[in-house]
Amino acid sequence: MRIAIVDDLSGERALLREQLARQLARRGAEAELLEFDSGEAFLAAEKERRFTAAFLDIYMEGMTGMEAARALRKTDTDCLLVFTTTSTDHALEGFQVRALHYLVKPFAEGEIDALTDELLARVPQPEKFMELRVEGGEIRLRYRDIIRAEHFAHVIYVHTTAGKTLATRQSFKAFTAPLKEDPRFFVCGRGVIVNLEHAEDFEDAAFRMEDGSRVFVSQELQKSARQSFMEYLLERGRTV
């Protein structure tokens, strides 16, 4: 995801970038945030590579944000546009260029929080997967197809939504390293990781998984497990 922040005031750009980066990190979403001090500079960069979203200040020296939006729409109808402004006087013009939202300065953290959810809901998320060497060769396994995995005798046993158990020889640290960056996964203790997407409940110190299995969590991680599960459910509820 590539996001442009266009404002002729460096302080305003920096503040918005900081808030966006914080909200995106909370959701485990990766994005390239690029700053531009004019509409002209933004459009020049857009010709080289398209942006997923653009935050445009309406009142800028030279080309205004609205003028930049009109120019952008001649070649790009997909970029999500958000206007940052001190007034909503241009709401009708914003409708004409299909603006997603208006942020009236000074905007609160809660507004950026809600807007980030809306942005992510409108952006197709790339399917995450890992490459595993199993008997018979290498396969690509989607994260969402992993229910849980266990490490035993230098082998990782991956239980999948297809009802299969895949065995791959590697360290638990190497296997879980990419998964830990995804909020769906929780390490339950030494050698065990679960996908919260397939957990139905957390009770009696264990996750009850949708395949009927129960995955116990070590005592020192039980509080964290309960909290992570609740946060995951709340976040999933926002995007449903």
Domain count, the chain: 2
Mean pLDDT on 180-185: 91
The reply to whether 101 and 137 lie within a common domain is no
Residues 103-118 pLDDT 10s? 888 888 888 999 999 8
Identify the CA nearest to 196 among candidates 167, 237, 153. 237
Q: What DSSP string describes 101-126?
A: EEEESSPPHHHHHHHHHHHHHHSPPP
pLDDT bracket for residue 95 (50, 70, 90): low
Judge contact between 83 and 115, C-beta under 8 A.
no
The whole-number pLDDT of residue 96 equals 61
What residues does 215 pair with on adjacent strands? 207
Q: Which of 75, 107, 122 is the last residue of a domain?
A: 122
What are the structure tokens assigned to 192, written together?
């065990």
pLDDT bracket for residue 240 (50, 70, 90): very low
The reply to whether 101 and 38 lie within a common domain is yes
Mean pLDDT on 114-126: 84
Single pTM value for the model: 0.55
Supply angle C-alpha 190, 26, 6, rounded to 5: 150
Residue-range definition of the domain harbouring residue 100: 2-122
Burial of 226 (0-12, 13-18, 19+ CB in 10 A): middle
The reply to whether 209 and 141 lie within a common domain is yes
What are the structure tokens assigned to 181, written together?
């960056």
Q: What mean pLDDT value characterizes the chain?
A: 90
Q: Which of 122, 152, 170 is the last residue of a domain?
A: 122
What are the structure tokens assigned to 33, written together?
């945030």
Residues 14-71 pLDDT 10s? 999 999 999 998 888 889 999 999 999 999 999 999 999 999 999 898 999 999 999 9
Query: What CATH code is carried by the domain that includes residue 97?
Result: 3.40.50.2300
In this prediction, what percent of the chain has a pLDDT beyond 90?
67
pLDDT bracket for residue 92 (50, 70, 90): low
- Of residues 194 and 125, the one with the higher pLDDT is 194
Mean pLDDT on 73-83: 90
Mean pLDDT on 162-182: 93
Assess whether pLDDT exceeds 90 at residue 217.
yes
Q: How far apart are the first and last CA of the chain?
A: 21
Phi then psi dihedrals of residue 213, to 5 deg? -80, 160
Q: Which of 72, 92, 122 is the last residue of a domain?
A: 122
Identify the CA nearest to 55 among candidates 45, 65, 46. 65
The whole-number pLDDT of residue 89 equals 64
3-state per-residue secondary structure call for 220-235: HHHHHHHHHHHHHHHH
Angle between helices 10-26 and 109-122 (to 10 degrees): 60
Query: What CATH code is carried by the domain that includes residue 202?
Result: 2.40.50.1020
The reply to whether 91 and 136 lie within a common domain is no
Distance CA 74, CA 70 (A): 7
